[in-house]
Amino acid sequence: MNHDALLFQDLESVLYTREQLQTSIAEMGKRITRDYQGKSPVMVCILKGASLFFCDLIREIDLPLEIDFMATSSYGSSTISSGEVKLIKDLDRSIHGRDVLLVEDIVDTGMTLNYLKKILMGRGAASLRIVTLLDKPSRRVAPLTVDYICFEVPDAFVVGYGLDFDEKYRNLPEVGILSPRVYAAAEKEKGAEAPHS
């Protein structure tokens, strides 16, 4: 897929190209490999957004790691977050005594990870660190330490490389800012709310 593809026409601008994503992910993989020498961490992918990032990242980590998956959704409307997170899919195996790395696509308010961190520490994880492709620190509400970050993004709605708007654009191979005319059109069509409005 190149820049004249249909999906790219809905972007205001491209923030990170395939090459920039892969370079940063390879560096992060090396860092995690160094930091977890002698350990066998459990890498947890938070579905669905982190799935593309997760698949690329774990292939850059030279450790005998294991993988597992979790899925969440937040209660309430898209504009007013209640801070409560609903667990839709839980881990398959116990993480008691394990070194856990939670892998997310983007940290926004921090509520999702704050909630997941509490749950997993409560289950007796030996350690827990947070890994994210993108960080949007300007919107943070919940206190949260993010241990590994590929890129810091401005306060704009971004899509691609796993991140969606209304479940679309996850297959866009690069990360970009969604053109506001897209959510304006979606709003008109079915009364959907603009993100962060």
Binding positions for Mg ion, rule: CB under 5 A? 49, 105
CB of 49 to Mg ion, least distance (A): 3
Nearer to ligand IMP, 44 or 111 (CB): 111
Nearer to ligand IMP, 148 or 157 (CB): 157
Nearer to Mg ion, 63 or 107 (CB): 107
The burial class, CB within 10 Å (0-12 / 13-18 / 19+), for 83 is: middle
CB of 189 to Mg ion, least distance (A): 24
Give dist(CA 36, CA 110) in Å, integer.
25
CB of 50 to Mg ion, least distance (A): 6
119-126 LR contacts (CB < 8 Å, sep 24+): 119/87, 120/44, 120/95, 123/94, 123/95, 123/96, 124/95, 124/96, 124/97, 125/95, 125/96, 125/97, 125/98, 125/99, 125/100, 126/97, 126/98, 126/99, 126/100
Q: Among Mg ion, ligand IMP, none, what does residue 56 contact (CB within 5–8 Å per kind)? A: none
**Token pair recorded at residue 58:** 């774990």
Residue 67 neighbours by CB distance under 10 Å? 14
Q: Is 108 a catalytic residue?
A: yes
CB of 109 to Mg ion, least distance (A): 12
Residue 48: cis peptide before it, omega within 30 degrees of 0: yes
**Token pair recorded at residue 60:** 């850059």
Which residues make up the interface to ligand IMP (CB under 6 A)? 49, 104-112, 157-159, 163
Q: Among Mg ion, ligand IMP, none, what does residue 61 contact (CB within 5–8 Å per kind)? A: none
Give dist(CA 90, CA 114) in Å, integer.
16
Q: Among ligand IMP, Mg ion, none, what does residue 111 contact (CB within 5–8 Å per kind)? A: ligand IMP
Nearer to ligand IMP, 35 or 180 (CB): 180
CB of 73 to Mg ion, least distance (A): 9
Nearer to Mg ion, 36 or 148 (CB): 148
User: Of all residues in this chain, which one has the CB nearest to Mg ion in the complex?
Assistant: 49
Given the residues 10, 99, 108, 135, the one annotated as active site: 108
**Token pair recorded at residue 116:** 């997941």
Q: Which residues are catalytic?
A: 108
